Structure 1
């Protein structure tokens, strides 16, 4: 059934990851819930508990959050799993109680799978969004590569089977949509940006940010294998010592100990700074304090942190992998570098840091101009259309 054009909707966001988890999908779900709530919709979020205990309900500023009983994944320090039978039973009961206008599933694993299947049984409109590459699982599965390849193929197949049941399927970029068509057989995926509030990272009127007396390269994200922060650290070690470049690393994760060991091994302890998790205000300042932002990851379907840095008018140096190339044009707002190549990364960082201040400012403005094309308001408009019954073809005409 199509909802009335102006009536508030009851939306259930089904997510395997949600704050306090720190990752791109979690941030997207939180921002989506907050924006929908601000528009007057009744928002419910379905996610795993972050600790032991039975199903519970939390009322937050942005939504009513339903947490399902979960167990810790033994190969990951923070990720938690919900058993399939419990997810199906709990989600089915919740759907019967809430009768939402739409279910927005954020993946095809565990909670996402159960939400799609249970919504289908009840003929509830479902939208599916993919933030994940099945290969992202590989560092956390203790199996040989031949077996991991089988897991990946099966995961792509399951993605096609499950998300194919939805009224519309989305992903953040056109490249990700093409990848899903190739591997999951989903031929009509809508590339809808995760969206960003660029004003949150711009220099506010009258605001001043104290800048250090040395150049700063910034990385923001999880300290995970696929982020390849080690490549960035090695690149810092290859830069001309006369530049006195410092690296600030914002975020945390399972690779913190190996990365700290690498810093010690390279003798970079006085120039590489691990800041851990920071507040939104501290992150805002970190972006504005930096001279250049670097994302060396090779599994990015969009990279919200790169967009945040671009919103702060920073040149970016990004790995030439997956969706990152659509954010940068060499010499315009930064550079791409060969993934996994610290020498090429060092050369591209040097090109930015040795450019005259006027040129760096021009590159920063070019970054900002690209970032504003991903305005969050437009993203929410498109999802509202899908929630209310618009066809993928109607939405595609606006992209």
Structure 2
């Protein structure tokens, strides 16, 4: 099948949407499909490459650096979109957001009668953290931002989301299109428990103390990730035997470095910077607990990858994280944004090391169902069903349900 993916963000940019879209494109190509991905060029000019048998088409763009250094957009109906449709002749189009380029792609696909799938990676929190007066105007901003998304997504043949939580949020916002939860997927061959990892040597390599109980966060260092909560919790505990490692980069990095210094825990908060994908499994296997304090996760690939490496998890009881972490079973949950509760959960994990193996085993079991092989199979079923039932959304819904076995329209 000839499949066109469209996204506002793509590799080598590192965020959940970019990573998922790149992985999906590569996996579909490995299954023998012809795959093209169109996205705003990170070089600002039109560019085209073939990578891992995936045609990458970057269209002219603007860098919204004032908003975020990795934010790019198109502000016009780019003729490159029509040219790609003419040349590639997609049989199915899969968009990954509601921003201008995907809106352009959706319009062209609709005119040509091509089936449309959309995956939603968005919640208003992704945007409102960067808006002025967001605390006072949160309900208004939420309403406007959801309306923008629904204007496009309610016209799609099928919408997918990463979790039941994400599905419920979309339904409550007003989505009427057929809706399916499908995981973002993880590579369980790459991320796995590795008893051969020399924990002491690995920690030394990353500048971490082998004697301290180490919590690790992996991801973007942006406001919605709420790393301030972990840093403040670490300071509140006043336990020199606990350390926090942070792997990633982002707009709030300098702010959180200053916070660690102000709170007197700079010697126990280690900013590792960007850690390459090839090094992550070793790092994950060398730490004691994975931490995800974010209040805006529709799933969390980073958390799943840590679970696949057998780590207990400390997480905020927010969005989809409770679908991954059961309190007391494979980790601990704390009230989002609550420093005192986060500190208590952190302390309970540190003081019960005998439970880590049991919690790690539970994490491993939960992560296994998110393997990429299962995810690709589900998307192929959706694509095939839409090909067979073009133009009849209700019939499509029934076909998708029967062919995948995944609960529909939660």
The aligned counterpart of 1:241 is: 239
Structure 1 residues 355 and 62: CA distance shift in structure 2, 3 A:
farther
Match of 1:186 among 167, 176, 180: 176
Quote the offset at 1:296 in angstroms: 0.5
- With the length of structure 1 as denominator, give the TM-score of the two structures: 0.92
Aligned residues between the structures: 386
The aligned counterpart of 1:164 is: 154
Quote the offset at 1:92 in angstroms: 2.2
Correspondence list, 1:194-273, <5 A:
194-204=184-194, 206-210=196-200, 212-242=210-240, 244-273=241-270
Structure 1 residues 146 and 233: CA distance shift in structure 2, 3 A:
closer
Q: For 2:137 and 2:347, locate their aligned partners in 1 and report how far apart those are by CA, in whole Å.
A: 41
Q: For 1:188 and 1:116, locate their aligned partners in 2 and report how far apart those are by CA, in whole Å.
A: 17
The answer to whether residue 52 in structure 2 is matched with residue 72 in structure 1 is no
Secondary structure of 1:18 counterpart:
coil
Secondary structure of 2:323 counterpart:
helix
- With the length of structure 2 as denominator, give the TM-score of the two structures: 0.90
Quote the offset at 1:208 in angstroms: 4.0
- Please list the CA deviations of residues 7-40 of structure 1 after superposition, one character each: whole Å capped at 9, or x if unmatched: xx11111011101111001110111011111111
The aligned counterpart of 2:326 is: 329
The answer to whether residue 376 in structure 2 is matched with residue 380 in structure 1 is yes
- CA contact under 8 A between 2:63 and 2:72: conserved in structure 1? yes
Q: For 1:79 and 1:13, locate their aligned partners in 2 and report how far apart those are by CA, in whole Å.
A: 18
Quote the offset at 1:164 in angstroms: 2.0
Q: For 1:207 and 1:266, locate their aligned partners in 2 and report how far apart those are by CA, in whole Å.
A: 33
Correspondence list, 1:1-399, <5 A:
9-53=1-45, 55-73=46-64, 74-86=66-78, 89-142=79-132, 149-186=139-176, 188-204=178-194, 206-210=196-200, 212-242=210-240, 244-357=241-354, 359-390=355-386, 391-397=396-402, 398-399=405-406
- CA contact under 8 A between 1:386 and 1:392: conserved in structure 2? no
Q: For 1:142 and 1:51, locate their aligned partners in 2 and report how far apart those are by CA, in whole Å.
A: 29
Quote the offset at 1:322 in angstroms: 0.8
In structure 1, runs of 5+ residues without a counterpart are: 1-8
Structure 1 residues 171 and 80: CA distance shift in structure 2, 3 A:
same
Structure 1 residues 185 and 121: CA distance shift in structure 2, 3 A:
same
- CA contact under 8 A between 1:136 and 1:299: conserved in structure 2? yes
In structure 2, runs of 5+ residues without a counterpart are: 204-209, 387-395
Quote the offset at 1:268 in angstroms: 1.3
Quote the offset at 1:148 in angstroms: 6.0
The RMSD of aligned alpha carbons is 1.8
The aligned counterpart of 2:206 is: none
- Please list the CA deviations of residues 96-115 of structure 1 after superposition, one character each: whole Å capped at 9, or x if unmatched: 22111111100111122111
Q: For 1:12 and 1:153, locate their aligned partners in 2 and report how far apart those are by CA, in whole Å.
A: 30
Secondary structure of 1:388 counterpart:
helix
Structure 1 residues 75 and 207: CA distance shift in structure 2, 3 A:
closer
Q: For 2:267 and 2:353, locate their aligned partners in 1 and report how far apart those are by CA, in whole Å.
A: 26
Greater Cα shift, 207-216 or 126-135: 207-216
